[in-house]
Structure 1
Amino acid sequence: MNKVILMGRLTKDPELRYTSVNNTAVCSFTLAVDRRFSRQGEERQTDFIPIVVWSKLAEFCSKYFQKGRQVAVVGRIQTRTWDDNEGKKHYVTEVVAEEAYFADSKKADDVPSSSKIFGTPDAGQTDGFYPMEDDDELPF
């Protein structure tokens, strides 16, 4: 089984591009993920993990995720190799995200209006997201 669940902060804004063959959206970003434990007296370590997202989810991530935002992704680990123009072989290990979620605890008033998706829905909102008034009211 190959399944990964990560939660971390974006190190920079996601980059959206489209494939030349089918014009499929592909979005990439890096998550800074703190390790769960550290030895006493040592600084907590952070891993920087490359994430790749495809199709509609890629467009969503590009539109709503931005540098510093905490997100959670569910996906799989993938390794790739390729040769550059000079014949040098390159290796990369990345997470291909199949699900992506907001993990911030920000309230609706803290989110810029261009990405306000929590709270009372706007009249013209059609993307299926409805804001919550206050995180403190959640039963968990």
Structure 2
Amino acid sequence: MASVNKVILIGHLGKDPEVRHLEGGNAVANFTMATNEYYKDKQGNRVERTEWHTIAAWRGLAELAEKHLRKGQQVYVEGRIRTRQYQDKDNQTRYVTEIVAEEISLLGVRTTGESPAPEQPAAPEAPATFRQEPELDRLPF
């Protein structure tokens, strides 16, 4: 039987995307996203728990993220979980778990009572959705 690796998140961006261009010309955007859950503790107090996620968007989706995403915006991210490892400067093996975005939808902007900075583009009037183009070498046929 086939397996499924699918993640759906709705949350707020923790920072603006950081975009790098790799040797082959591919762009990758990295940003963090916070999701919140609420529950009541034994005393009946409402408790908020925030989970931080690292998101990676590739190629055209990375460039769209750089252009449209800003810290504080509420976004929908659909993708897959990927864990990778690397050697740090002390030759220790480190692991990173991240979400590889395949679709990003802009849902809104967190309101703080402040007007947006002039260099920030205004939020779209209707939700905008961006999708990663499928990679031909990943197709099963």
2:67 paired with 1:75: no
The 5 A counterparts of 1:82-101 are 82-101=86-105
Amino acid at match of 1:52: A
Q: Scaled by the length of structure 1, what TM-score is found?
A: 0.73
Asked if 1 retains the 8 angstrom alpha-carbon contact of 2:72 and 2:109, the reply is: no
What's the offset of the Cα at 1:41? Answer: 1.1
Once residues 68 and 117 of structure 1 are traced to their aligned partners in structure 2, the CA distance between those partners, rounded to angstroms, is: 11
Q: Out of 11, 30, 33, which is 1:31 matched to?
A: 33
Q: Distance in 2 between matches of 1:85 and 1:105?
A: 38
Give aligned-pair identity as a percent: 39
2:59 matched to 1:55? Answer: yes
Aligned to 2:7: 4
Note the residue ranges of structure 2 that are not aligned, 5 or more in a row: 131-141
Corresponding letter in the other structure for 2:68: Y
Taking a change above 3 Å as real, the CA distance of residues 65 and 45 of structure 1, as seen in their structure-2 partners, is same
Consecutive aligned runs of 4 or more in structure 1 exceeding 3 Å deviation: 110-114, 116-119
CA distance in 2, matches of 1:2, 1:61: 22
SS across alignment from 2:53:
strand
Report the structure, 1 or 2, having the larger helix content: 1
> Aligned-residue CA RMSD in angstroms?
2.5
Moved more, 41-50 or 25-34: 41-50
Using the alignment, how far apart are the partners of 1:9 and 1:42 within structure 2?
A: 20
Query: Greater strand share, 1 or 2?
Result: 2
Number of aligned positions between the proteins: 116
Q: Deviations over 1:20-47 (max 9, x none)?
A: 2x11010000001112x31231421000
Q: Which amino acid in the other structure matches residue 82 of structure 2?
A: Q
Tell me which amino acid in the other structure corresponds to 1:19.
L
- Give unmatched runs, 5+ long, in structure 1: 120-128, 130-140
Secondary structure in structure 2 of the residue aligned to 1:104: strand
